[in-house]
Chains A and B, each alone.
Chain A
Amino acid sequence: MASDPAPVDVLLVGFGWTGAIMGEVLTAAGLNVLALERGGWRDTPNDFAVTFDQDELRYYWRHRLFQNVAHETLTFRNRGDQVALPMRRLGSFLPGAGVGGGGIHWNGQVWRFLPSDFVARSHNVGRYGAAAVPETMTIQDYGITYAELETYYDRFEYLCGVSGKAGNLGGKVQAGGNPFEGPRSRDYPNPPLAMTYGPTLFAEAAARVGFHPFPHPAANMSRAYTNPLGLQLGPCTYCGFCEKFGCGNYSKASPQTTILPILLSRPNFALRTGCEVVKVELSADRKHATGVTYVDETGATIFQAANIVVLSAYILENVRLMLLSGIGTPYDPRTGAGVIGRNYAYQITSSVNVFYDDKLINPFIGAGSLGMIVDDFNGDNFDHSGKGFIGGGYLGVVNTGARPIESHPTPDKTPKWGSAWKKAVAGNYLKTVSIATHGAVMSHRGNYLDLDPTYTDALGRPMLRMTFDFTDNEHRMSDFLTERASDAAKAMGGREIKANKRSGSYDIVPYQTTHNTGGAIMGTDPKTSAINRYLQSWDVPNVFVPGANAFPQNAGYNPMGTVGALTYWCAEAIANHYVKSPGPLVQA
């Protein structure tokens, strides 16, 4: 490239789910869109065909689809008085790399947050009093309501062909669905997946103890589906290789299966792979982005001019790019001032195993979101009075496939190795059901993201530093969820159960979930949020930052449904409002 490329209307930094949705909506609106993706091209036939896709070693243990930490990683510490060290192998979470991003290897769990999740502070203070939210808990309202977002949730669910059963249609509770969910305008596009034995045993027991089980909403197809863009998905085969894998059967919604063939065919769209954006360039007054600087795969540094810059990378990279580019004021945990890096949160999980002697569960029959769920203890679906925590989570049996290297549940008191361990694995693999709990993490003053003072990436830029730990609120809540899971487990009639609580400090090494949130949150006040309700930077109004970075705190659900809805919401705001009248969409 001898000279700088021609300016574009919209530049997308990163090309996973949010980039693909943005690209689709904005090219349909007639804008000229360019996506820069640091990873490579990936598609079903070349990268995860059925002839070699079900390979746990290649894809999970050797991280074929994940971010390459030799090129770029983050540093981590639990508390501000510790020295953070770089993660040399991914563990607790697994950001994707390449076209499609994490949308390739996700499970397809598509949830809507509860209406009360969007007003977490005012709702909890209103119901339980100001003392329910300690001073160090920095939770906030989103500045957008569930009702405003409903149509965008619906749009993402129909894009993905979600299989599920509505629990609330227009305010009327529906038998067999989630009775706690917010009202939907219509049912899911596809019926629930066929249920396997383990989730069925759980659902029956859960109902017996008074819970309200329903099928997990799944972007795994229960039947062949053609989405509103005309793209087709095939029925899921329950092969059990969703999470951490691409789908070789076109049965899991991903940018590749639901958007890209249409988007890439549009003449006003372009994609450049192997191009890593190193900085968003700002005008002299720092109130306008002029474009981005990126390094292409030959190592050349290139400036790309753009009228609008959308940070559509993973949340950690979105926050880091804002910090590296000087968009907004970095958060300072000592004073609580500043917004970039503020309110980083995560997810807290635990599990309870039920071991049977007489039941063959066949847990290898699985799909990413195949399961039965109980939502009685999520958000504020139950009375928190006297419990010493706010928030909640779901519990359920999700049969993602029990891949053999990863999955070998053993009862209590089993040795960790040796012949007794082997015997226990062999004896229990087919006869174990695992109930998972999936809990919210509130935001806290001491949990945040900033730039590491010591470590740099392969391009010489400071790494992102994560400072995070669970607090008493999370532990109390997770213990409560684990106890409710145990209630159901005891009713399942197994030989014995084993509760795997989440105790102690957050450990970033074992895999938990790739549900990192916050750091560039949305809100109504530029003093406490990085972006406004349209996910537009308060400080640089031609920068938009869709993604889970926008969550002021994490809810008890998997984030992608809400990320998809917020991205459509943001894209429509750009197409319908910003383009007609560039500038702040909300006056500070």
Chain B
Amino acid sequence: MRRHFPTLVLGLCLSTFAVAAATAPPPAPPPVDPGGGAIPIPPANADNPTADVTSWAEPSQAEPANAADRLSADPVLRGRYLAVAGDCKACHTDVGGAPFAGARPIRTPFGIVYSANITPDARTGIGGWTADEFYRAMHKGVGHGGKRLYSVFPYPYFTHMPRADIDALRAYLGTVPAVSQVKPANRLPFPLNIRFLLRIWNALFFHPGELRPDPAKSEAWNRGAYLVWGPAHCGGCHTPKNFLGADRNKHALQGGRLDNWVAVNLTGDPRQGLAGWDKADIAEYLRSGRNSYAAASGSMQEVIYESTSRMSDADLMAIATYLKDLPPGAPKPGGWAPTEAAMRGGAAIFADACAACHVADGSGVPRFFPPLRGDASLQSKDPTTIVRIILEGSRSLPTPARPTPLAMPAFAWKLDDNEIASVATFVRNAWGNSAPAVPASKVAKLRRRYGGRTGG
């Protein structure tokens, strides 16, 4: 997941500030169904990019992954491939906006930062930047005219990229249609809006320098390490952050959180990580959004849709090779034991509301309806993702490999907080799964923010 705002910045911030800035306005109540059924039909997620016809009509095939681009003699094609691997478009394109023209609001725990226009427009884009300036931005987080950039722009990762790759990326960005669009002013509270202070953050947390290959490791491992730590900046979401929004690298890739989605542990952790997946499983997931164990949800779908589904199979296997070599972190306390009553209630709700797709034993329909047995995201200590998916539903973005746009419906209007807590606790602890019970108060909190009306 790559909406890197947790890497954003700056201490000196009061926690109350952070909460206030991060709280989205409450969603409008769903419209009442005019059709006259016994139960109103809930609307699709208002902010879900697959909620309407036009998203069906905008396939990921439109800009096909071209594995050959990566090794092309043409820097523009190499740069295009890097832009896909880096998923630049995701942050640098507003919803419904022109590609790479920026102005997308990135909600961070500290406030809203708007992405930059990186089209070649001379006035509002980066058309006036020299190659050295572009390299300095990517390598050191210093923009045009010496302005310090917030690390929501993940230069702590891009610094690992060699100059040749950064020049290729610039060559490609020079070919996209120039769009005149001024970046709106960030909405960060004082003193976070003082860019000078970013120097302190950099001094504490930023280690510039290109990544050096490890000669003891295979070529695939080194390529994977480069992608993970460089353009693909996986840790932007999957590494936990400290209170200043910097990566806690002692726990690199052991799972993070952003925008109230849990980014799963990418190490070999047996329960919350990828221990059960082999390399081909990881590559299949990144290519198609699904494998026999899981289906992508939340922000990871966007990453797969725009980025990894368009990368070469060799690169996906390289990422898998590197990830499978990551040791699990320190073992987490296990043996959660929810009450029998909670499990019994949850089992009944599961049978009524969930089993038709996810199957009575949680085995799902692999590559179609996600299996719940053994799922890492489901068993994350933090239940945010599972609760949000039950409240809001989820849609699979189509990929060329899996073009069917599947959806799980929202249950916010149908199940109350206790019921959702109960069924979430059940699926987290049935069939050999184990994770802390979900309190109804947690559901209530997420419902207030995302879920619309109270059910029941």
Which residues of A approach B to under 8 Å, CB–CB? 41, 43-47, 49-52, 55, 57-58, 62, 64, 224, 229-232, 234-235, 237, 239, 248-250, 257, 260-262, 264-265, 267, 271
Residues A55 and B38 in contact, CB atoms below 8 Å apart: yes
- The distance in angstroms between the C-alpha atoms of A271 and B35, with both chains bound, is 24
Residues B403 and A230 in contact, CB atoms below 8 Å apart: yes
Interface size for B (C-beta < 8 A) is: 41
- B 377-414 binary contact with A (CB < 8 Å = 1; else 0): 00000000000000001010010011111110111011
- Given A46-B44, A234-B357, A260-B56, A51 and B411 contact (CB-CB distance below 8 Å): yes
Residues B38 and A261 in contact, CB atoms below 8 Å apart: no
Contacts of A45 in B (CB 8 A): 44, 393, 395, 407, 409
Given pairs A230-B401, A261-B56, 7 additional interface contacts (CB within 8 A): A45-B44, A45-B407, A52-B39, A64-B37, A234-B357, A234-B365, A239-B356
Residues A250 and B57 in contact, CB atoms below 8 Å apart: no
Contacts of A224 in B (CB 8 A): 365-368
Contacts of B367 in A (CB 8 A): 224, 232
- Tell me the minimal C-beta distance from B288 to chain A in angstroms: 10
- Given A224-B365, A261-B56, A265-B59, A50 and B35 contact (CB-CB distance below 8 Å): no
Contacts of B353 in A (CB 8 A): 51
Residues B404 and A231 in contact, CB atoms below 8 Å apart: yes
Which residues of B approach A to under 8 Å, CB–CB? 35-39, 41-44, 51-53, 56-59, 61-62, 353, 356-357, 365-369, 393, 395, 398, 401-407, 409-411, 413-414
Contacts of B53 in A (CB 8 A): 41, 43, 264, 271
Nearest B residue to A239, CB-CB: B356
Residues A62 and B56 in contact, CB atoms below 8 Å apart: no
- The distance in angstroms between the C-alpha atoms of A44 and B396, with both chains bound, is 13
- For the complex of A and B, 10 pairs with smallest distance between CB atoms: A58-B37, A265-B59, A45-B407, A49-B409, A51-B409, A232-B404, A237-B356, A264-B56, A264-B57, A224-B365
Residues B57 and A58 in contact, CB atoms below 8 Å apart: no
Contacts of B35 in A (CB 8 A): 58, 62, 64
Contacts of B410 in A (CB 8 A): 51
- The distance in angstroms between the C-alpha atoms of A161 and B147, with both chains bound, is 59
Nearest B residue to A271, CB-CB: B53
Contacts of A267 in B (CB 8 A): 62
Residues B406 and A250 in contact, CB atoms below 8 Å apart: yes
| Total contacts A-B at CB 8 Å | 98
Residues A235 and B365 in contact, CB atoms below 8 Å apart: yes
Residues B403 and A62 in contact, CB atoms below 8 Å apart: no
A-B contact pairs, 12 of them (CB 8 A): A41-B53, A49-B393, A51-B409, A51-B410, A51-B411, A51-B414, A237-B356, A250-B368, A261-B405, A264-B57, A265-B56, A267-B62
Residues A232 and B402 in contact, CB atoms below 8 Å apart: yes
Residues A261 and B404 in contact, CB atoms below 8 Å apart: yes
Picked from B36, B62, B357, B404, the residue with its CB within 8 Å of the CB of A58 is: B36
Residues A49 and B407 in contact, CB atoms below 8 Å apart: yes
Residues B403 and A261 in contact, CB atoms below 8 Å apart: yes
Nearest A residue to B43, CB-CB: A46
Picked from A230, A234, A239, A271, the residue with its CB within 8 Å of the CB of B368 is: A234
Contacts of B36 in A (CB 8 A): 58, 62
Q: Among the interface residues B356, B367, B404, B411, which one has the most CB atoms of the partner chain A within 10 A?
A: B404
- Tell me the minimal C-beta distance from A87 to chain B in angstroms: 20
Contacts of B41 in A (CB 8 A): 46-47, 49, 52
Residues B38 and A58 in contact, CB atoms below 8 Å apart: yes
- Tell me the minimal C-beta distance from A158 to chain B in angstroms: 16
Residues A265 and B411 in contact, CB atoms below 8 Å apart: no
- The distance in angstroms between the C-alpha atoms of A47 and B53, with both chains bound, is 13
Contacts of A234 in B (CB 8 A): 357, 365, 368-369
- The distance in angstroms between the C-alpha atoms of A231 and B400, with both chains bound, is 10
Nearest A residue to B405, CB-CB: A261
- Tell me the minimal C-beta distance from A258 to chain B in angstroms: 10
- The distance in angstroms between the C-alpha atoms of A250 and B369, with both chains bound, is 10
- The distance in angstroms between the C-alpha atoms of A58 and B41, with both chains bound, is 11
Residues B356 and A249 in contact, CB atoms below 8 Å apart: yes
- The distance in angstroms between the C-alpha atoms of A58 and B37, with both chains bound, is 5
Nearest A residue to B398, CB-CB: A261
Residues A249 and B403 in contact, CB atoms below 8 Å apart: no
Contacts of B58 in A (CB 8 A): 265
- Tell me the minimal C-beta distance from A281 to chain B in angstroms: 28
Nearest A residue to B290, CB-CB: A232
- The distance in angstroms between the C-alpha atoms of A235 and B39, with both chains bound, is 26
- Tell me the minimal C-beta distance from A460 to chain B in angstroms: 26
- The distance in angstroms between the C-alpha atoms of A41 and B62, with both chains bound, is 23
Picked from A55, A230, A261, A262, the residue with its CB within 8 Å of the CB of B39 is: A55
Residues A265 and B61 in contact, CB atoms below 8 Å apart: yes
Residues B404 and A57 in contact, CB atoms below 8 Å apart: no
Contacts of B37 in A (CB 8 A): 52, 55, 57-58, 62, 64
Nearest A residue to B41, CB-CB: A52
Nearest B residue to A51, CB-CB: B409
Nearest A residue to B407, CB-CB: A45
- The distance in angstroms between the C-alpha atoms of A262 and B405, with both chains bound, is 10
- The distance in angstroms between the C-alpha atoms of A49 and B356, with both chains bound, is 12
- The distance in angstroms between the C-alpha atoms of A234 and B370, with both chains bound, is 11
Nearest A residue to B52, CB-CB: A41
Contacts of A271 in B (CB 8 A): 53
Picked from B52, B61, B368, B393, the residue with its CB within 8 Å of the CB of A232 is: B368
- The distance in angstroms between the C-alpha atoms of A234 and B395, with both chains bound, is 15
Contacts of B409 in A (CB 8 A): 45, 49-52, 248
- Given A62-B36, A264-B53, A50 and B356 contact (CB-CB distance below 8 Å): yes
- The distance in angstroms between the C-alpha atoms of A47 and B56, with both chains bound, is 16
Residues B57 and A57 in contact, CB atoms below 8 Å apart: no
Contacts of B402 in A (CB 8 A): 230, 232
- The distance in angstroms between the C-alpha atoms of A229 and B59, with both chains bound, is 14
Contacts of B42 in A (CB 8 A): 51-52
Residues A265 and B38 in contact, CB atoms below 8 Å apart: no
Contacts of A41 in B (CB 8 A): 52-53
- Tell me the minimal C-beta distance from B411 to chain A in angstroms: 6
Contacts of A260 in B (CB 8 A): 56
Residues B57 and A265 in contact, CB atoms below 8 Å apart: yes
- The distance in angstroms between the C-alpha atoms of A57 and B406, with both chains bound, is 26
- The distance in angstroms between the C-alpha atoms of A271 and B357, with both chains bound, is 31
Residues B357 and A50 in contact, CB atoms below 8 Å apart: yes
Nearest B residue to A59, CB-CB: B37
Contacts of B401 in A (CB 8 A): 230
- The distance in angstroms between the C-alpha atoms of A573 and B225, with both chains bound, is 54
- The distance in angstroms between the C-alpha atoms of A230 and B356, with both chains bound, is 23
Contacts of B44 in A (CB 8 A): 45-46
Contacts of B39 in A (CB 8 A): 52, 55, 58
- Tell me the minimal C-beta distance from B276 to chain A in angstroms: 21
Nearest A residue to B400, CB-CB: A230
Nearest A residue to B410, CB-CB: A51
- The distance in angstroms between the C-alpha atoms of A58 and B59, with both chains bound, is 33
- Tell me the minimal C-beta distance from A421 to chain B in angstroms: 24
Picked from A47, A57, A231, A237, the residue with its CB within 8 Å of the CB of B403 is: A231
Residues A265 and B369 in contact, CB atoms below 8 Å apart: no
Contacts of B404 in A (CB 8 A): 230-232, 250, 257, 261
Contacts of A57 in B (CB 8 A): 37-38
- Tell me the minimal C-beta distance from A249 to chain B in angstroms: 6
Contacts of B407 in A (CB 8 A): 44-45, 49
- The distance in angstroms between the C-alpha atoms of A265 and B35, with both chains bound, is 30
- The distance in angstroms between the C-alpha atoms of A260 and B59, with both chains bound, is 12
- Tell me the minimal C-beta distance from A553 to chain B in angstroms: 38
- The distance in angstroms between the C-alpha atoms of A47 and B409, with both chains bound, is 11
- Tell me the minimal C-beta distance from B423 to chain A in angstroms: 13
- Tell me the minimal C-beta distance from A230 to chain B in angstroms: 5
- Tell me the minimal C-beta distance from A226 to chain B in angstroms: 9
Nearest A residue to B402, CB-CB: A232
Contacts of A64 in B (CB 8 A): 35, 37
- Tell me the minimal C-beta distance from A364 to chain B in angstroms: 14
- Tell me the minimal C-beta distance from A24 to chain B in angstroms: 13
- The distance in angstroms between the C-alpha atoms of A261 and B401, with both chains bound, is 13
- Tell me the minimal C-beta distance from B242 to chain A in angstroms: 39
- The distance in angstroms between the C-alpha atoms of A57 and B61, with both chains bound, is 41
